Structure 1
Amino acid sequence: MTSAIDSPLPAVTRLIATDLDGTLLRDDKTLSDRTVAALAAAEEAGIEVFFVTGRPARWMSVVSDHVHGHGMAICANGAAVVDLRADGTPLVVRPLERDAALAAVRTLREVAPGTSFAVEFTTGIHYEPAYPPFHLDPGATVATAEKLLRADSPGSGAPVLKLLAHHAELAPDAFLALARGAAGVLASITRSSPTALLEISGSDVSKASTLALCCADRGISQAEVVAFGDMPNDVEMLGWAGASFAMGNAHPDALDAASGRTLTNNEDGVAVVIERILALR
């Protein structure tokens, strides 16, 4: 892997896909003036910008003040596509089927006793009593995952975007490896948190697969995409894009997947590469 200085870029860049936490955002969850200016300059040059994140749409206020033409967001690790300039209603939903979610819950309870769960629906998140509470979602229902996932009848209820699994004692990467080995045939399992918190999506759902669908709809080729990320949930996207950059603060798996490396999120690593893309034009 090469650095941002000498890593090759596409002959033509038509879309920039960037993760948020640990990538575009600084550690204090803000966007620097330099990053805001780089995003605006990319838009002015005719380059689409997609925010591609594990966050749900309702947690996108960190970038909402800086949304101009680049209002498209792939949320919940690929489970939803949202236009942030509209009302936040998903344009595309790629759900985790409830039967698969329940099977994953049963499996993880067996192989990792002490695991607690939350369920992210299109309508909001709800979680188990032992799960670390979400202070941003004070209206959440607290109940077992089995109860939360039970529908009144087949096909009823809000779509499930992802299942979250938390363990208070296991190391994050060890928990991820254990879960993938036991339940990887049921769903896509990844992580983006520094804690042992797993994110479980439909078996064919990832940031990369949804980004590929969005690019196909726009007639944008894989080779015309530049992607940025820092954690295991970015690995598929970094490997898929024509050019990709792991942040200087990235997880080793992200560093291995990317074709290049840029500065850390606190050093405006995304803006550095965007400025280079624009200079080459």
Structure 2
Amino acid sequence: MPPPLPPALPRLIATDLDGTLLRDDRTVSDRTVAALAAAEKAGIDVFFVTGRPSRWMDVVAEHTAGHGIVICANGAGVYDLRHDRLLSCDPLDAPDAARIAHALRAAVPGTSFAVERSYSFHREAGYATPWGGVPDSLIAPIDALLTHDADQPLLKLLARHENADPDEFLATALELLGGQAEVTRSSSAALLEISRAGVTKATTLARCCAERGITAAEVVAFGDMPNDLAMLAWAGTSYAVANAHPAVLAATARHTATNQDDGVARVIEALLERG
């Protein structure tokens, strides 16, 4: 039998977006919209905790209720979407990013890099962007990217390889970089997301909850990929969607339906029905 629902309604729901809350076409279903609205009406805060940058939050911006706050870039930035404002950040230092990039490329030749700043994205020529180009983005070698828009915090260094096995690429980077940075992945491609050491979805969510007097035991979290593991381990109650990465399914006792089958909404509905 699956583990029971938590004994009381949570005070906060924290959910990943891609592969978890969003369907494969990157939309939010009507059922999920209704469930999120019902949770907020019941007094439960809903936080989106994502690897996405703030510029990719348009699909869910209207569902952040009155607070408008989201945790982006795997915890490196907290944004107020209502006012397009960065509230706090834990940036990666550019010299550290440069050392990491050169070490990783030496270990895995063919790796290309991009940088995600608070309001801009720039990449090397070999770094593919399947979603298309980004307006006003610079295409240049990594050292030049790290000096461009230097007035903006550097939230993530992105490393991509067109031929590497995604899990092996992550394992190599973790072994190589040790505690120099947080390295994770949220894509089905060989795409690594590298943040400042100690910065994860969990650390930033914990801080945001503490500011509101909310404990881990009062949080229900949802996720699907390795970048969600720290958050799922921190929250008092955690669910992996059925389409999650094998490591996430193995680490999470509670499972729900896939993102295509409104897995997050199903749990929220059950929580509210039970009261």
Partner of 1:108: 104
Q: Does the Cα contact within 8 Å between 2:5 and 2:271 map onto a contact in 1?
A: no
Paired residue for 1:162? 156
Could you tell me the TM-score, scaled by structure 1's length?
Answer: 0.93
Note if contact 2:229-2:248 (Cα within 8 Å) is conserved in structure 1: yes
Computed over aligned residues only, the root mean square deviation of the Cα atoms, in angstroms, reads 1.5
Q: Secondary structure at the match of 1:49?
A: strand
The aligned residue for residue 230 of structure 1 is: 224
Residues 195 and 166 (structure 1), Cα distance of their counterparts in 2 relative to 1, 3 Å cut: same
> Greater CA deviation, 218-227 or 176-185?
176-185
**1:175 Cα offset (Å):** 0.1
What is the one-letter code of the residue matched to 1:114?
A: G
Q: Gaps spanning 5+ residues in structure 2: where?
A: none
**Structure 2 equivalent of residue 214 of structure 1:** 208
1:77-88 pair list within 5 angstroms = 77-86=74-83, 88=84
* Cα separation, 1, equivalents of 2:143 and 2:110: 15
Match of 1:192 among 186, 196, 200: 186
Partner of 1:26: 23
Cross-structure match for 1:96: 92
Matched-pair contact (CA < 8 Å) for 1:232–1:253: yes
Identity %: 57
Q: Say whether 1:239 aligns with 2:233.
A: yes
Give the equivalent residue in structure 1 for 2:260: 266
Most deviating of 214-223 and 181-190: 181-190
Count of paired positions = 274
TM-fit CA distance, 1:10: 4.6
Name the SS of the counterpart of 1:65 in structure 2: helix
- CA distance in structure 1 between the aligned counterparts of 2:148 and 2:64, rounded to whole angstroms: 36
- Mapped contact 1:243–1:259 kept (Cα < 8 A): no
Using the alignment, how far apart are the partners of 2:12 and 2:229 within structure 1?
A: 18
Matched, 1:148 2:145: yes
Provide closer, same or farther for how the CA distance between residues 64 and 151 of structure 1 changes in structure 2, counting only shifts above 3 A: closer
Question: In the alignment, residue 280 of structure 1 is paired with which amino acid?
Answer: R
**Residues 49 and 72 of structure 1 are in contact (CA less than 8 Å); yes or no, is this contact kept in structure 2?**
no
Secondary structure, in 3 states, of the residue corresponding to 1:91?
Answer: strand
The one of 65, 68, 71 aligned to 1:71: 68
Deviation at 1:37, TM superposition (A): 0.5
Partner of 2:165: 171
CA deviation digits over 1:227-279, x for unaligned, max 9? Answer: 00000000100111000000000001111222300000010000000011112
Pairwise CA distance, 1:82? 1.0
Distance in 2 between residues matched to 1:184 and 1:165, nearest whole Å: 16
Q: Distance in 2 between matches of 1:275 and 1:60?
A: 24
Pick 1 or 2: higher relative contact order, CA cutoff 8 A, min separation 6: 1
Task: Check the 8 A contact 2:9/2:272 in 1, yes or no.
Answer: no
Alpha-carbon distance between aligned partners in 1 of 2:237 and 2:107, rounded to the nearest angstrom: 38
- Residue number in structure 2 paired with 1:57: 54
1:151 Cα deviation from its structure 2 partner: 7.0
Q: Which moved more, 1:113-122 or 1:249-258?
A: 249-258
Where has structure 1 moved over 3 Å in runs of 4 or more?
A: none
Give 5+ residue unaligned stretches, structure 1: none
Structure 2 CA distance, aligned partners of 1:265 and 1:234? 15
* CA offsets 1:58-94 (integer angstroms, 9 cap, x no match): 10011123332352210000010112222x2210111
Cα deviation for residue 96 of structure 1 reads: 0.8
2:39 aligns to what?
42
Q: Distance in 1 between matches of 2:89 and 2:66?
A: 22
Displacement of 1:136 in angstroms is: 5.0
Pair 70,28 (structure 1): closer, same or farther in 2 beyond 3 Å: farther
